[in-house]
Amino acid sequence: MSSYDLSTAVGRFRAKWDYVWKDHAFLRRWFMNAHWLGPDLVRTNQPSPRQLAYWKSQGIRTVINLRGARDEAYYALEKDACAKLGLTLIDAPLDSRDPPQTDRIHRAKRLFETIDYPVLIHCKSGADRAGMMAVFYRHFHLGEPISEAIGQLSKKYLHHREGLTGVLDYTLEKYLKEVEPTGVSFLDWVDSPAYDP
């Protein structure tokens, strides 16, 4: 059960207050870090209920939340807004400071094979987790090689490899330098004992 009771004025006010100040939504009010990656997917930072309504007007049908289902204001407001707007909300958490787990990579592949497009993917800032999911989208859905898809992890999208989030770049670069030249596919590598996140 959520700590935020959106059925009451007080509960909704508290959720909005926490969303703005604790989740730093005031920084995202006018900047969405939004980028279309093709005709059927946009990556962005954490959308507000108002921004979700905008994205629905742009044709979005599905929202993939990479932050996960948490008892926090952002999630209560997002879940409520998606329900009211008729958007499908899928919780598919990724880590920004650890290599992606094998089951999460497979889940991403399955999602891109089965979801109702167009889709919006988001994390908090739209840089790291959204970047890694965008790599998976471009590789699994669009058929791009990892060497091209890795471009989704760049400063253009506010991703900085210099910090702890550089582990995402390291994981893909390890594949490109050590594994791909041997002819092993990305998914086969991920499924092998050699991949040890």
- Residue-wise DSSP of 47-101: --HHHHHHHHHTT--EEEESS---SSHHHHHHHHHHHHHT-EEEE----SSSPPP
Q: What angle do CA 163, 158, 22 make, to 5 degrees?
A: 80
Provide the token pair at 72. 């926090």
pLDDT of residue 162: 67
Tell me if 41 is assigned to some domain: yes
Asked whether residue 4 is assigned to any structural domain, the reply reads no
Decide if pLDDT at 43 tops 90: yes
The parent domain of residue 127 ranges over 9-191
Residue 2 maps to a domain = no
pLDDT of 17 higher than 70: no
For residues 52 and 81, the answer to whether their CB atoms sit within 8 Å is yes
pLDDT at 23: 59
pLDDT interval class at 106 (50, 70, 90): very high
pTM here is 0.86
Range 142-154 average pLDDT: 88
Q: Summarize the confidence of residues 37-58 as an average pLDDT.
A: 94
Q: Which residues contact 17 (CB under 8 A, 6 or more apart)?
A: 73
Lookup result for tokens 């919006």? 120
Is there a domain that residue 164 lies in?
Answer: yes
Q: Answer whether residue 104 shows pLDDT above 60.
A: yes
> The domain spanning residue 183 has which CATH number?
3.90.190.10
Nearest to 102 by CA among 146, 136, 62: 136
Q: How many domains does the chain have?
A: 1
Q: Is residue 3 part of a domain?
A: no
Report whether pLDDT(83) > 60: yes
Q: Is residue 167 in a domain? A: yes
Distance CA 99, CA 180 (A): 18
Q: Which residue in 87, 10, 94 sits closest to 49, CA to CA? A: 87
**What mean pLDDT comes out for the span 90-97?**
87
Tell me whether residue 196 is in a domain: no
Of the two residues 130 and 29, the one the predictor is more confident about is: 130
Considering the domain boundaries, does residue 197 fall inside one? no
How far apart, in whole angstroms, are the C-alpha atoms of residue 73 and residue 129? 19
